[in-house]
Structure 1
Amino acid sequence: MVITKGCDRSEAAIFEGMVKAGIPLDLVATPDTQYQEMLSNAGVRVSSQMIRHRFDISAIRRIRSILKNTKYDIIYAPANHSLAVALFASRGMSIKHVGYRGMVGNLSRWDPACRVTYFHPRLDNIICVCNAVREYLLSVDIPAHKLTTIYMGHDISWYDKSPPVDTVDFGIPEGAFVVGVTGNMRPVKGIPVLLEALRYIPEQVPIYLVCIGHVTDKQISRLLKDPQIGSRAYFPGFIPQASRYAKTFDCMVMPSIKREGLPRAIIEAMAQKVPVIVTDIGGMPELVRDNQDGLVVPANDSHALARALMQMYEEPSLRKRLTENALKSIKENFNIQTTIKEVIALFERLITHKDNPV
């Protein structure tokens, strides 16, 4: 059984792949979960259930009722709320539990919310999206035998039919070098550092910034009041399926300053042959090898970001080399078929060692 509050394209492909491999799978998800029709057509039995928080009594009772009527070997709950609900609902039952962790930091054994999820004694394994996440979980004393690194793979065919979107609608001059960022603009994402980098770009260089997503970092509005920054930066807000814009950008940037895992936006850019710049935080150096698949700069360094942006702008041959290497890396190292095989292998090991730690 999979219990989740949502489902992205990679997760849907994993579930579909498991069914194709002959593994029966039931999905309990919120009514607005994406890809339900695709999964139903693949043979996944989909049930709707709202999960409002970690202690949602109605969700716990509903799932416990399902567990009593159907025998499951494993529950995979990739979201915090669904993991807590799964562990509460399965009390007294002989079922293996697998969670998922996609970012570094923000866990404490003394936090009640963490004690009913990642530090729960009945949690058998945590899929770590990158080695940086695994190392962090080891540092907070989660046993190594409970941790498995599995990169969340993609398939470049997902993006073949995605047409580029015109950025003229944002007011950007024709012929400009457009730098893109997609995602929620929280303080950990380092957008103010990227905005500060615009100060060090010569005025005559037509580098413009487009940041797509919800803005919660209060520093951003203050910085945009500076004409030197505000005249080059556009924040259109949240746009559904923002990955469609990747092909429009001349470069994609992820300037995170902490807690980053393996950012999907950067994988999507690499899969679409868009050059990338990232900081040396979390799993990003695992995804992007400096000067091979993209450029890696120190976190919190606006001067380094400005130099990297200028390098991308001035060297078309560099952009071509980086994107060719990046596409090859996605195909070979971040392939969804490899992810499916590794997830299945983990579940099979858990079942084989039913009464012992893996």
Structure 2
Amino acid sequence: MTTDTMRVLYLTEEAIGFSDALVRGGAIHVRNVVTGLRERGHEVFLVDWNDAPERPYQRSVSPRIRPVAGALATLSRAVSVGRTESVDVIVSKTRKTYLPGAAAAAVLGVPHAVHVGSTLGVDGGGLRARVEAAAVGARLRVPHAGYLVVCAYIGRQLRERGVPADRVYDVRNAVDVERFAPAGPPLPDRYAAALPEDGFTVGFVGGLHRYKGVYDLLTAVNRCRSDVTAVVAGDGPERDRLETVAGERAVFLGAVPYEHVPAIYRAVDAFVLPSYTEGLPRVVLEAQATETPVVATRVGGVPEVIDDGETGLLCPPGRPDALARAVDRLAAAPDERARLGRNGRAAVIESYSWEELYDRYERALARICDR
């Protein structure tokens, strides 16, 4: 079957708001994909876990006991909406919707696609992380008609696990290049007042989890020859411990509303993402779009968006000394910072706009429906 207009049922365990600013990258992705495909003429229906849905095409469920009731409620609602709206394909965005989505698609006799935004397996993190990684692997071993991945690295991981190559579609990530631009509203005073007046600043935006490598960033800053301060925007389970070990060369802003995140990138001299594992991190694209030079670790899909020495700098993960050398290199070279910033924005505009992502989604879903 090939149609110009598709009827798509999109599933996620996140609560999607259409009138607020949102913070989580995954929620922004869902909202924009649903809205963007609808604006292109497709009928897209959303089942999310939400007590306050805002749109008529948002058919939310409100599970009270999320691990079990969420999956069952999602399955029931997906079958109901799928039948009523005669959908052509189901897309499951988040891990807890993979199995309900596959089951609903089997009942309805339509293809099912999973969105895979994180690398497979686990790098450290203890027993809980290993259990979660095993659970995700089991969900992905259920045959799906399509696998929408955010980078070629995840595509290779899936193929190594036996997924046929012709079922893997690289839809990538995207960033709003108009919102994330070199010029724009300044950082509000309540945040700007916390930034140092002198010296070189490196920013971090994201959740404060061990795998994000923020400890390595703080260690690197203390080893830099230059006068460097880390500006950390985000919250998470490691925040208290990080603040304890940070010393005077770090500023913690807490969770910053998404509307002010572009100003964070513009306010710092460079952006650093020292993660141990990533898919295709949207924060790198956002920083590049603002012409902020980026230093990141060579993990997951990061090398697909950073050409080392051209659109940013790459370092091995778990190496604070390498991070320190890269930061010192940028601190001493304003011309190089400007060049990396310009090149980074040009690369994002060329391949990572939302319109480009909608094109990739349309092509992938059309092929999945044809199969």
TM-score (norm 1): 0.85
Please give the alpha-carbon distance, in whole angstroms, between the structure 1 residues aligned to 2:51 and 2:286: 23
**TM-fit CA distance, 1:162:** 4.9
Q: Kindly tell me the number of residue pairs found equivalent between the two proteins.
A: 337
Q: Which amino acid aligns with 2:139?
A: T
Structure 2: runs of 5+ lacking an equivalent: 1-8, 17-26, 123-129
The aligned residue for residue 305 of structure 1 is 323
1:151 is the counterpart of 2:172: yes
Deviation track 1:275-307 (CA, whole Å, cap 9, x = no partner) reads: 110011111010111110111111111111001
Please give the alpha-carbon distance, in whole angstroms, between the structure 1 residues aligned to 2:236 and 2:28: 24
CA spacing shift, 1:294–1:32, aligned 2, 3 Å: farther
The aligned residue for residue 249 of structure 2 is 232
Please give the alpha-carbon distance, in whole angstroms, between the structure 2 residues aligned to 1:88 and 1:308: 48
1:267 is the counterpart of 2:282: no
Please give the alpha-carbon distance, in whole angstroms, between the structure 2 residues aligned to 1:282 and 1:348: 27
**TM-fit CA distance, 1:111:** 7.3
SS in 1 for 2:361: helix
Superposition map of 1:47-126 within 5 A? 47-50=59-62, 52-53=66-67, 56-106=71-121, 113-114=135-136, 117-121=139-143, 123-126=144-147
SS in 1 for 2:186: coil
Residue range with higher mean Cα deviation, 308-317 or 141-150: 141-150
Superposition map of 1:187-202 within 5 A? 187-202=210-225
Please give the alpha-carbon distance, in whole angstroms, between the structure 2 residues aligned to 1:110 and 1:81: 11
Deviation track 1:178-198 (CA, whole Å, cap 9, x = no partner) reads: 211111121211111111112
Deviation track 1:94-119 (CA, whole Å, cap 9, x = no partner) reads: 11111111121237999773366311
SS in 1 for 2:58: strand
**TM-fit CA distance, 1:4:** 1.6
The aligned residue for residue 286 of structure 1 is 304
Please give the alpha-carbon distance, in whole angstroms, between the structure 2 residues aligned to 1:65 and 1:150: 28
The aligned residue for residue 11 of structure 2 is 3
**Match of residue 273, structure 2, among 244, 250, 254:** 254
**TM-fit CA distance, 1:317:** 0.3
CA spacing shift, 1:32–1:235, aligned 2, 3 Å: farther
The aligned residue for residue 135 of structure 1 is 156
Deviation track 1:177-231 (CA, whole Å, cap 9, x = no partner) reads: 22111111212111111111123223xx33100222223348x82x6555xx411
**TM-fit CA distance, 1:240:** 2.6
Residue range with higher mean Cα deviation, 12-21 or 112-121: 112-121
**Match of residue 186, structure 2, among 161, 164, 170:** 164
Please give the alpha-carbon distance, in whole angstroms, between the structure 1 residues aligned to 2:33 and 2:228: 38
**TM-fit CA distance, 1:340:** 0.7
CA spacing shift, 1:109–1:146, aligned 2, 3 Å: farther
Please give the alpha-carbon distance, in whole angstroms, between the structure 2 residues aligned to 1:314 and 1:115: 45
Q: Which runs of at least 4 in structure 1 moved beyond 6 Å after TM superposition?
A: 107-112
CA contact (8 A) 1:10 1:336 kept: no
Structure 1: runs of 5+ lacking an equivalent: 354-358
Please give the alpha-carbon distance, in whole angstroms, between the structure 2 residues aligned to 1:118 and 1:90: 15
CA spacing shift, 1:115–1:154, aligned 2, 3 Å: closer
CA contact (8 A) 1:128 1:134 kept: yes
CA contact (8 A) 1:84 1:116 kept: no
Residue range with higher mean Cα deviation, 63-72 or 176-185: 63-72
**TM-fit CA distance, 1:136:** 1.4
SS in 2 for 1:47: coil
CA contact (8 A) 1:50 1:59 kept: no
CA spacing shift, 1:66–1:216, aligned 2, 3 Å: same
Residue range with higher mean Cα deviation, 104-113 or 80-89: 104-113
The aligned residue for residue 6 of structure 2 is none
CA spacing shift, 1:291–1:112, aligned 2, 3 Å: closer
Deviation track 1:114-151 (CA, whole Å, cap 9, x = no partner) reads: 36631112x11111100111111222222222211121
CA spacing shift, 1:238–1:78, aligned 2, 3 Å: same
CA spacing shift, 1:152–1:261, aligned 2, 3 Å: same
1:29 is the counterpart of 2:43: no
Please give the alpha-carbon distance, in whole angstroms, between the structure 2 residues aligned to 1:253 and 1:15: 31
SS in 2 for 1:197: helix
Please give the alpha-carbon distance, in whole angstroms, between the structure 1 residues aligned to 2:324 and 2:118: 26
Q: Which amino acid aligns with 2:355?
A: Q
Deviation track 1:53-80 (CA, whole Å, cap 9, x = no partner) reads: 3663233223322223231110111111
CA contact (8 A) 1:10 1:154 kept: no
